[in-house]
Amino acid sequence: DAGITQSPRHKVTETGTPVTLRCHQTENHRYMYWYRQDPGHGLRLIHYSYGVKDTDKGEVSDGYSVSRSKTEDFLLTLESATSSQTSVYFCAISESSSGRDYGYTFGSGTRLTVV
Amino acid sequence: RKEVEQDPGPFNVPEGATVAFNCTYSNSASQSFFWYRQDCRKEPKLLMSVYSSGNEDGRFTAQLNRASQYISLLIRDSKLSDSATYLCVVNAGGSYIPTFGRGTSLIVHP
């Protein structure tokens, strides 16, 4: 399996506190993504990155920021956590070359509960 | 109309049955297609890519119908272990942002 790890695996935090989730890859893939998954909504893209310091917003980016200072790390920060951000967060990586898409590999997820 | 649509199911089938799922997509420029499997409380995992000519991997067969803009997944001789949610993924040519369907739930019972 591709080397992609997320940390922490589980976290409980209080409303209003900042939270940072980490995604680390050892595959040197160019593209990295953060998704949240909630019942009835499927996977929704929060932010993505197409290179070091190159990031962009997805469909549900409000309340989230990201950073990618190294190829291998993609951080997701909830600036001030709210209960609506209770979710399962997945990181994914991808590498496309010569126009071919090899698909996406997901981390094991982070279960975040905001109380 | 959603970009990628799947019947959420659940599809309840007995062991040994053959079951098929479809996934329709709206962007005619779509170039890459995949089926993913997701077990409860786990991450999605790539099951198979879908090629224009269709492809088969053991009991699983994937087909692409560009004219009608859908992909299909056929599972033969269903096993209890096939119980999961199956997600289709579509990517437009030149894009690195995939579009995921919400998944089809399959339950295989004894």
Question: For residue A41, how many other CB atoms are within 10 A of its CB?
Answer: 11
Query: Which pLDDT does position A73 carry in this prediction?
Result: 97
B17-52 pLDDT per residue, tens = 999 999 999 988 888 899 999 999 899 999 999 988
Report the percent of chain A where pLDDT is more than 70.
Answer: 93
pLDDT band at B60 (very low <50, low <70, confident <90, very high): very high
Query: Which pLDDT does position A88 carry in this prediction?
Result: 97
Are residues A42 and B98, on separate chains, in Cβ contact within 8 Å? no
Query: Which pLDDT does position B92 carry in this prediction?
Result: 79
3-state secondary structure chain A: CCCEEEECCEEEECCCCCEEEEEEECCCCCEEEEEEEECCCEEEEEEEEEECCEEEECCCCCCEEEEEEECCEEEEEECCCCHHHCEEEEEEEEEEECCEEEEEEECCCEEEEEC
* Over residues A90-112, mean pLDDT: 85
Q: Residues 52 to 91 of B: which have CB under 8 A from any A CB?
A: 87, 89, 91
B31 touches chain A (CB under 8 A): yes
Query: Which pLDDT does position A2 carry in this prediction?
Result: 60
Evaluate if residue B78 carries a pLDDT over 80. yes
Distance from CA of A73 to the nearest CA of B (A): 18
* Over residues A62-79, mean pLDDT: 97
Question: For residue B98, how many other CB atoms are within 10 A of its CB?
Answer: 25
